[in-house]
Amino acid sequence: MLSKKSIVIETLLQEIREGKITPGEFIPSRNQLMHRFHCSRTVVENAIAVLTGQGLLAGKQGKGTFVRQTAKNNFEPLRKINVISRYDAKSFSSAINCVQFDINDFGLPVEVISPARANAESEILTGNDVLNVHINPDFQQLPLLNYLKERDVRQILINREFDGFDRIYTDTLTGFRQGLEFFRNLPGREICLLARAPEIQYPYQTSRLLSFYQACAERSLPITEKNTMIHPFRKIEKEIVSVKKFFQTLPVKIAVLNPELILPLLNLAAGSGLQPGKDFSLLLFDCFLELPEILNTVVIRQKYDFFYGELKRYVNTLDENCNGGNFTAAIPPEVTVTGT
């Protein structure tokens, strides 16, 4: 739910975009806005201050506030960093799937903001001297990302590759290309695929699947429908039983694209008397488990620690150029082969 201040801001912006208030024309007075939105003068003043800070409005002493002829979008040197993340500041050093960094390492004020608060109070993310760092944003945050983009607010996405935004992400295609070069030579005549189905809560999954299929096609490695299980897996322990179809012809290769499916697969195999490395080879994407060394296993790991270095480089670019420009950093994952 939007705050009163956000409602005032969004309404004025909409009226400016639709030409109801044209450049050079005065916006309604403070009193008129107070009555219209049933809010205090402080709320109105704060909303106008946000739009003025963005260069959309300007004040004329004794006359009121009017819409600028041309929006002023000049960036100023960076003075604050907002980190939009479901992890709080204390969790950054230990969180899996998260950029691990010290919030005191930038020499600037850093505030960690939850996605819920960012959506409810989006005006706190605006300003021409602010950088917003979005950690693993999901599809539900796209309206917020576009809201900030429309207002020329500097922002960067971490571990997401949504088009049109500055971003630092894992180059999954390169990882699969390298991993499949090893995987193709391991025991097993056919490659089976085990993965989550793309859903709104897994914004990375479509790209991950496409990269895997592209890398397979480039190497003439067919993935047949009977050797594929792409499923929502809302009850993993029960639904993983269907993977037994992969074990009809041994040995077999199994590519697992989601780390939460690895242990259930190994438990299923053990219950069937099958041994990894002997009866089946594995390609694992982002394995966080402390597994014993398994023969004939390719592991592709995202380099989360590299994200931090790229983020610092990006911040330095903003300091030097103020607005920074387009920035894309695709980080190839680490590929290892165990027990061959």
Each residue's pLDDT tens digit, 260-300? 999 999 999 999 999 999 999 999 998 877 776 788 999 99
Could you please state the CATH topology (level 3) that the domain comprising 4-67 is classified under: Arc Repressor Mutant, subunit A (1.10.10)
- Domain 172-301 bears CATH identifier 3.90.79.10: no
Using the CB atoms, write b or e for 105-134: b if 16+ within 10 Å. Answer: ebebebebbebeebbeebbbbbbbebbbbb
Mean pLDDT by 10 residues, the chain (340 residues): 81 82 90 92 90 80 77 70 79 49 76 91 87 92 89 90 90 97 91 95 93 95 93 93 92 96 95 94 87 84 89 80 71 87
Return the pLDDT at 94.
42
Residue 283 backbone phi and psi in degrees, to 5: -120, 120
The crossing angle, in degrees rounded to 10, of helices 30-37 and 4-17 is: 110
Enumerate the CATH 1.10.10.10 domain ranges in the chain, comma separated. 4-67
Return the pLDDT at 86.
84
Enumerate the CATH 3.40.50.2300 domain ranges in the chain, comma separated. 80-169+305-331, 172-301
Q: What is the pLDDT of residues 301-315, one digit of tens each?
A: 999 889 988 998 898
Helices (H), ranges, 60-171: 115-120, 142-150
> What is the architecture, at CATH level 2, of domain 80-169+305-331?
3-Layer(aba) Sandwich (3.40)
Question: Is-contact 134 87, C-beta < 8 A?
Answer: no
Return the pLDDT at 323.
53
Nearest residue to 54 via CA among 107, 128, 3: 128
Give the pair of three-digit tokens for residue 137. Answer: 């944003």
Return the pLDDT at 27.
93
Specify the residue for token string 């594995």: 282
Return the pLDDT at 321.
56
